[in-house]
Each structure stands twice: as structure tokens, then as C-alpha cells.
Amino acid sequence: MRMMQNIEKIQANYEKIEKAILMLQSELESEYLDALIETMDNLLDDKKVHVENGKPTEKVAKELEQLYVEVSLEELTAEQKRQLLQLLILKSYSVEKIQANHQMTPDTIGILVSYLIQKFAQNKNKIEILDLGVGTANLLSTVMNRIHDKEVHGYGVDNDDTLLALASISTELQQSNIELYHQDALDDLMIPDVDFVVSDLPVGYYPLDERAQQFETHNEKGHSFAHYLLIERAMQKLKEDGLGVFVVPKGMFEKENAMNLLKYIQKQGHLQSLLNLPTDLFSNKNSMKSILVIQKKGPKAKQAKEVLVGEIPSFKQRKEFSDFLTEIDRWVNSSIKL
Ligand code: SAM
């Protein structure tokens, strides 16, 4: 019953905001995503309509303000606000094509990453988490919203201004304890070392060869892989014994040049787990992903006797999935020390 009321609250707000976005989009003749950002900015700015060069007109601005009055974000929890924003961003994907590397990390993946972080952090009372490609901040917020028993501080870096605008709306809306940095994560970072890095890594070539040369995981010939370099950057930003949980392409270590990355990981840390995400989460074989867990070397970290590898069962297979979570608990307790 309570769950139903929660869904209804999100739904009611969604419908009103969606109507306001469409009205603004048509008035500004803009992309849906831009109208979404402008609408959320207006809502956060005490529901005042931002007017530029006479647009929206006074008449439309009044209509928008009337719609905004009906929006009641204050009755939503931070997690419900995240879900509401997630629905609006998903709607934008149905009207505009977004390249895979820029897509928000869905809850199905975020909740698994978050489960791992909760288990790893179980004996800590204060943690810092960094996302090197924070995008809309959906993954980082999913992880942080599920940690209730300790102080959490988040850092998010991204080099895409539209996505970072969404991240900024998301963190302001949820009043999350996240600092955002608009920059290339492979450039110098003014962020302290952290306990955990979580990142749904962009996949493909990194265009700046000169900068890539500063990383051990660069390719000898041609462009280097952005996801390799970002794993190296993550290892640099982790405290000793810290853990990186990365969403990576399935079969990543079977690719050419992967040996170089593997050597780097083994030099700096321990590859503790590589789990393939359930295949039914992906519409095509080439976009399938895995979760990679690396622990940085330190006084407590040890190579897990049993590297956790394999397939994560589908969420629909309830018994298998629940057994899998029990297996994770057992593995973390026996193999991960920090
Ligand atoms: N987890 C994010 C979310 O929930 O919205 C989505 C991550 S998306 C798959 C990968 C992100 O990496 C994109 O937002 C992209 O802009 C960012 N990215 C790609 N190259 C980057 C770089 N060199 N520095 C920082 N961010 C980068």
C-alpha cells in the first residue's frame, strides 16, 4: 500500500513536469533534453520561469508557472527524486538518440554495484566515493542513497557539459553530499584519495595521445582505450586497500592489448572479481557488460583465494538471484579485507 502511494507520488509529479517540459520545448523549439534541464532549473529556482530574449512569452511563462505550482517535489524523498529524474531522462532517450557511452546507468546495474559497496564498506563509519564518468549522477546517487548507516561523501567528474548539468540538477534536487567537477578525468584531479571508485566506464578510444602517454596502460600504436586509462586513473585515486567497482564491456580481458592492463592491475592491486551482468539486461550481444572489482594493494588487501567470476543470474530467477547474493556475502567476508 505504502509502495503504491510512493509510486503514485512520483507518477503525479512526473506527469506535471513532463507537461511543462513539452510546453517549454515547443515554445523554445529546443531538444527535449534541453527543455528538461531548463524546466528542472526553473523548479529549483523557486519555480521562477527563466526568460531569455523574450522567450518564453509572458503568456506561456504564466501557464508554466501555473503548472509548476502543482509540482510538489518537497513531498518526495531523495531516492524518489532520483527515480523521478531517471524517468524523465529515460523519456528523453525515447525521443532523442543518445550514444551508448553517454547513457545513464540503469537501476538494474546501479543496485548491484551498490550492494557490493555496502558489503565492502560494512565495517567503516565514514567513506568517500568517486565516479570518474559521473554522467547524470544516477549511478553515484543510487549507490549513495542506499548507504544509511555511515557518513558518505561523493565526488563526480565528467567532461560532458549536458550530462554534468543533469548531474548538478540531480544533486541539488536530492541535496546529496556530492561535489561535481566538469573536466577530463584524465587531466590533473584536485580530489583527495578515496575509499571507493565506482564507474560505468565509457568504452572506446581516448583522443588525446599525448596525455595518454602519461599512463602505463596506453597503447603503443594509435589511440589508447579510454576505459583502460580511466581504470589506471582510478587506481591512482584510491587509498591503500581501496576498491574500484567498474562496469566494463563483457570479455574485456580477451581483447588485444588487455595484457598490458592486466599487468598494470596486478602491479598496483588485486583483481578480485569479474562478474557478467545478466544477459537479459541487454538488447544486443555487443553491448553486454560485466562488473570488475579491483582492490588497491595495501596493508590489509590480499589477493582473494577465490577470485569471484561467473554469471550473475537474471533478477527474474528469484531463487538463483537470492543464492547469488548469499554467495557475495560469504565471498566478501572471507576474501575482502579493508
Ligand atoms: N554512470 C553514469 C550515469 O549514471 O549517468 C553514466 C556513465 S556513461 C556510461 C560514461 C560517462 O563517461 C559519460 O557521462 C561520459 O561523458 C564520461 N566520460 C567519457 N570520457 C571521459 C573523460 N575523459 N573524463 C570524464 N568523463 C568522461
CATH label of the domain that carries residue 37: 1.10.150.470
Which atom of ligand 1 lies nearest, measured to the CA of 206? 23
53: Cα within 13 Å, side-chain hemisphere: 2
Same domain for 48 and 143, yes or no, is no
Same domain for 90 and 104, yes or no, is no
Strands (E), the chain: 126-131, 151-158, 178-182, 194-200, 205-206, 224-225, 238-249, 269-276, 289-296, 308-311
Cα 324 from Cα 330, distance rounded (Å): 10
CATH label of the domain that carries residue 263: 3.40.50.150
Residue 38 Cβ contacting ligand 1 at under 6 Å: no
Q: How much is the pTM?
A: 0.96
Same domain for 119 and 206, yes or no, is yes
Cα 83 from Cα 88, distance rounded (Å): 9
pLDDT for 255 equals 84
pLDDT for 5 equals 73
Residues in the chain: 338
- The strands making up 194-200's β-sheet, listed across from edge to edge, are 178-182, 151-158, 126-131, 194-200, 238-249, 289-296, 269-276, 308-311
**Residues of the chain predicted below pLDDT 50:** none
Same domain for 151 and 212, yes or no, is yes
pLDDT for 97 equals 86
Same domain for 117 and 197, yes or no, is yes
Cα angle: 182, vertex 77, 36; to 5 degrees = 45
Report the first-to-last Cα separation within the chain, whole angstroms: 40
Residue 107 Cβ contacting ligand 1 at under 6 Å: no
Residue 103 Cβ contacting ligand 1 at under 6 Å: yes
pLDDT for 55 equals 95
Same domain for 197 and 87, yes or no, is no
Residue 291, beta-bridge partner list: 247, 275
Residue that finishes a domain, picked among 95, 118, 144: 95
Same domain for 91 and 118, yes or no, is no
Same domain for 155 and 296, yes or no, is yes
Residue 118 Cβ contacting ligand 1 at under 6 Å: no
**Residue by residue, what is the 3-state secondary structure of 14-39?**
HHHHHHHHHHHHHHHCCCHHHHHHHH
Residue that finishes a domain, picked among 68, 95, 122: 95
pLDDT for 256 equals 76
- Taking 3-state DSSP, the helix, strand and coil percentages for the chain, each rounded to the nearest 5, stand at 50, 20, 30
**Domain encompassing residue 40:** 2-95
Residue that finishes a domain, picked among 50, 79, 95: 95
**Centre of ligand 1 from the C-alpha of residue 133, in Å:** 3
Same domain for 136 and 285, yes or no, is yes
Same domain for 295 and 178, yes or no, is yes
pLDDT for 4 equals 56
Same domain for 67 and 124, yes or no, is no
**Centre of ligand 1 from the C-alpha of residue 10, in Å:** 27
pLDDT for 138 equals 98
Same domain for 85 and 113, yes or no, is no
Tell me how many domains the chain contains: 2
